[in-house]
Chain A
Amino acid sequence: MPATSPPRPMPPIAIRAFSATTALGHGVEAQAGALAARRGGLRRNDFGPSPLPTWIGRVDGIEDAPLPEALAAWECRNNRLAWLALQQDGLREALEAAVSRHGADRVALVVGTSTSSIGASEEGYARATVDAQGQPCFPPDLQRPMVHTLHSLGDFLQHATGVRGPCMTVATACSSSAKVFAQAARLIHAGVVDAALVGGVDTLCGSVLFGFNALGLVSAEPCRPFDASRDGLSLGEAGGFAVLERAAPDEDGLQLRGYGESSDAHHMSAPHPEGLGATLAMRDALARAGIDPGAVGYLNLHGTSTPANDAIEARAVAALFPDSLHASSTKGWTGHTLGAAGIVESVFALIALRDGLLPGTLNSATPDPACGPQIRFDHVQRPTAWAMNNSFGFGGNNCSLVFGKGGAA
């Protein structure tokens, strides 16, 4: 491992509101209810004109929820899901309160995605037509340049919320919406802003379904994270957000307490064989939180259910944490929501802190031999002071987050 010294502890960041919308339903209570009841959201793939034989985590209701007319220029599946997710759990009220306290120019917007609204571009190619000069062109309803570029998501949310601080779309594949917490925390700590809307949105599209299929990473069955017989992932779509604000000294409530980011420096689509990057990210997140590994009560794993990821992540966790850690993958419920996985699984970690619901792993029965005692398939109900989330992406891009409660130390 490189000889970089761990970072110093960081000041806490308050979480004023948080929410996720996934195949389990819209908002936090739908997530918590489905987790507690072990009710998964995966269905047989019914997305697109020629669905591959796999299972997907599809969000219900997107087709029936057009954007408000004032935002129609950003119309597409991904921005619809962003809008739907933003209406949940008091997010907008918390954001408006932050804007009124600090001013719109003191609130940042940092959102993650893997493919943004590329589904609209795919549709433009599939429904291509010709213009008056006989040249190929997009159909008229898709001749909107902003939905055919990555910042579609950030630009849409900036117009939808009126936030005027720094605004960026982070796209580091499947770590995207975990890294937004780190980037927003830096903007707050550096004094650029006082608060931020962070989150991520990714929707099902041909690129990811057929792309992951081409890599041989998609299972024909519902995914089985950490199971000895797992054979690939199930793709999903999701959106979620959190409103972050500089925490006052000694305030209580849920907080972001640490982040760690690293690179594998190994391969574009395969994890480092010894999990070095993952270990570095977890180590730095714990160091910024100022806690020992033994303090963590729940760790939401990246746990994609691919043969390589889960074995390597399990070994890295076993090397860093005591046997008492309760760690699990929740991708059996939602599928792998790619650029939204960071926010969705951070919300699951926050549910663990709020309710003491430490979820197990769905669809899995026989642990992979690489699994240490930390990897749990069954739920436990137990109050915990600290929860973590791991998100790892293509390019060997890793991010770990530590959440805690104000006053906890």
Chain B
Amino acid sequence: MTPLAATIAGIGYWSEGLPGWAAARAFANTGTLPADAPARPAPQLLPPNERRRAPPSVLVALEVAQAACRDAGLAPDSLPSVFISTHGDLGITDYMCTTLAQAPTEVSPTKFHNSVHNAAAGYWTIGTGCMRTTTAISAHRASFAQGLLEALAQLATDADAVLLVGYDTWATGLLSTMTHSEGLLGAALVLARTGPGPRITATLEEGEAGAGDGPLAMRGHANAMAPMLPLFDALACGRDRVALHAGAGRHLQLDIAHG
């Protein structure tokens, strides 16, 4: 394929114990964890009452999205966006299935509209007043690589910069016997056509990608969005090559020129 390229203009990161990209980068390089990390993300984009009610998938996605935009120095409402989640909000799926099995007419309308896979994308565009395009994608273990391809294709066609957000929640209830995902994890990139920052070049190649043995990949391996973590290890530690699982026995090869 024609290689696709982008500059990483901004990064956002949140996991339990590592509540930001600076903390994640420090952990990847020194193994230290910040003291008193919050148990839950609290994105400033949402008013306090909505922050209390919002599902964890929305909280983590908005938190990292906002951090990446801040890091890039770009207005959130100027950016098209790509939201990636393997399973969406697993707690809401468990709620919907449990309620439907027990008392289907008691389904909460709010839980129902929050059950759509593009809930985080919707709350993001509403919270930032962004009228640009947004999409929500899943490709199981290949979700992040496939979402990255869509973001890079947007840059190659129309967009000057794109926000890319990957996140997953923990499995709960009966669904957790089928779907394995632990903890809350989110990361975001603002990708730009040009400008300062690490430059990535992407090609789809044959062969499986490994799970990654970097500190962030090892720490976050049990979350369903873990296949994105080798990229964040590479960005944190200044590595110049990384492979992301892309499905069908292929991987997305990323070459990184650190600016």
| Residues of A near any B CB (own CB < 8 A) | 1-2, 4, 7-8, 10, 50, 52, 105-106, 114, 118, 121-122, 124-126, 128, 135-138, 143-146, 148-151, 154-155, 158, 164-173, 179, 182-183, 186-187, 189-193, 206-207, 210-216, 261-269, 276-277, 280, 393-397
Q: Which residues of A lie under 8 Å from residue B204 when comparing CB positions?
A: 105, 165-166, 192
- The minimal Cβ–Cβ distance linking A339 to chain B, given in whole angstroms, is 9
Binds A, one of B25-33, B175-183, B208-216: B175-183
Q: Which residues of B lie under 8 Å from residue A167 when comparing CB positions?
A: 139, 142, 146, 247-248
Complex contact A148–B179 (CB within 8 A) = yes
3 closest A-B pairs by beta carbon, nearest first, are A395-B122, A191-B2, A171-B117
- Which residues of B43-95 are within 8 A (CB) of A? 77, 86-88, 93
Which residue of B87, B246, B248 is within 8 Å of A150 (Cβ)? B87
Q: Which residues of B lie under 8 Å from residue A189 when comparing CB positions?
A: 153, 156-157
Complex contact A168–B133 (CB within 8 A) = no
* Chain A residue at minimum C-beta to C-beta distance from B146: A168
Complex contact B135–A179 (CB within 8 A) = yes
Cα A371 to Cα B178 in complex, Å, equals: 49
* Chain B residue at minimum C-beta to C-beta distance from A143: B178
Complex contact A207–B118 (CB within 8 A) = no
Complex contact B118–A190 (CB within 8 A) = no
Decide yes or no: A210 and B105 within 8 Å by CB, A154-B139, A164-B248, A187-B149 being known contacts. yes
Cα A145 to Cα B248 in complex, Å, equals: 18
Cα A146 to Cα B142 in complex, Å, equals: 13
Q: Which residues of B lie under 8 Å from residue A207 when comparing CB positions?
A: 96, 100, 107, 112, 115
Complex contact A214–B121 (CB within 8 A) = no
Complex contact B139–A168 (CB within 8 A) = yes
Count of chain B residues with a beta carbon within 8 Å of a chain A beta carbon: 67
Complex contact B96–A169 (CB within 8 A) = no
Chain A CB within 8 A of B241 CB? no
Complex contact B109–A128 (CB within 8 A) = no
Cα A165 to Cα B149 in complex, Å, equals: 11
Cα A154 to Cα B138 in complex, Å, equals: 9
Cα A10 to Cα B122 in complex, Å, equals: 27
Binds A, one of B12-20, B34-42, B124-132, B226-234: B124-132
Cα A304 to Cα B106 in complex, Å, equals: 24
Cα A126 to Cα B103 in complex, Å, equals: 11
Kindly name the residue among A136, A148, A164, A166 whose own CB sees the greatest number of chain B CB atoms within 10 A.
A166
Complex contact B140–A125 (CB within 8 A) = no
Complex contact A138–B174 (CB within 8 A) = yes
Which residue of A137, A168, A206 is within 8 Å of B104 (Cβ)? A206
* Chain B residue at minimum C-beta to C-beta distance from A261: B133
Complex contact A121–B93 (CB within 8 A) = yes
- The minimal Cβ–Cβ distance linking A15 to chain B, given in whole angstroms, is 19
Which residue of A122, A169, A187, A262 is within 8 Å of B101 (Cβ)? A122
Per-position contact with A for B1-19: 1 when CB-CB < 8 Å, else 0? 1101000000000000000
Q: Which residues of B lie under 8 Å from residue A154 when comparing CB positions?
A: 138-139
Chain A CB within 8 A of B169 CB? no
Complex contact B98–A263 (CB within 8 A) = no
Complex contact B114–A190 (CB within 8 A) = no
CB-defined A-B contacts under 8 Å, sample of 13: A50-B104, A128-B174, A137-B177, A138-B177, A166-B204, A167-B247, A167-B248, A172-B117, A262-B132, A268-B113, A276-B131, A395-B119, A395-B123
Complex contact B146–A149 (CB within 8 A) = no
Q: Which residues of A lie under 8 Å from residue B138 when comparing CB positions?
A: 149-151, 154, 168-169, 171
Cα A116 to Cα B178 in complex, Å, equals: 16
Q: Which residues of A lie under 8 Å from residue B143 when comparing CB positions?
A: 151, 168
Complex contact A173–B118 (CB within 8 A) = yes
Complex contact A171–B116 (CB within 8 A) = yes
Complex contact B100–A193 (CB within 8 A) = no
- The minimal Cβ–Cβ distance linking A95 to chain B, given in whole angstroms, is 15
- The minimal Cβ–Cβ distance linking B251 to chain A, given in whole angstroms, is 12
- The minimal Cβ–Cβ distance linking B212 to chain A, given in whole angstroms, is 21
Cα A261 to Cα B105 in complex, Å, equals: 34
Decide yes or no: A149 and B179 within 8 Å by CB, A170-B137, A268-B126 being known contacts. yes
Cα A122 to Cα B175 in complex, Å, equals: 10
- The minimal Cβ–Cβ distance linking B157 to chain A, given in whole angstroms, is 5
Decide yes or no: A396 and B133 within 8 Å by CB, A186-B153, A210-B100 being known contacts. no
* Chain B residue at minimum C-beta to C-beta distance from A142: B178
Complex contact B157–A264 (CB within 8 A) = no
Cα A10 to Cα B154 in complex, Å, equals: 13
Cα A270 to Cα B87 in complex, Å, equals: 24
Q: Which residues of A lie under 8 Å from residue B108 when comparing CB positions?
A: 214
Q: Which residues of A lie under 8 Å from residue B77 when comparing CB positions?
A: 2, 265
- The minimal Cβ–Cβ distance linking A110 to chain B, given in whole angstroms, is 9
- The minimal Cβ–Cβ distance linking A137 to chain B, given in whole angstroms, is 5
Chain A CB within 8 A of B240 CB? no
Q: Which residues of A lie under 8 Å from residue B135 when comparing CB positions?
A: 170, 172, 179, 183, 261, 397
* Chain B residue at minimum C-beta to C-beta distance from A185: B157
Complex contact A211–B126 (CB within 8 A) = no
Cα A122 to Cα B112 in complex, Å, equals: 14
Cα A52 to Cα B249 in complex, Å, equals: 44
- The minimal Cβ–Cβ distance linking B91 to chain A, given in whole angstroms, is 14
Q: Which residues of A lie under 8 Å from residue B129 when comparing CB positions?
A: 265
Chain A CB within 8 A of B186 CB? no
Cα A148 to Cα B156 in complex, Å, equals: 34
Cα A105 to Cα B177 in complex, Å, equals: 34
- The minimal Cβ–Cβ distance linking B45 to chain A, given in whole angstroms, is 12
Complex contact A265–B130 (CB within 8 A) = yes
Decide yes or no: A190 and B153 within 8 Å by CB, A148-B179, A215-B109, A396-B122 being known contacts. yes
A145-B179, A166-B204, A207-B115 known; 14 new pairs, CB 8 Å cut-off, are: A4-B132, A122-B97, A168-B138, A168-B139, A168-B143, A170-B135, A207-B96, A210-B100, A214-B108, A263-B133, A268-B113, A268-B119, A394-B116, A395-B121
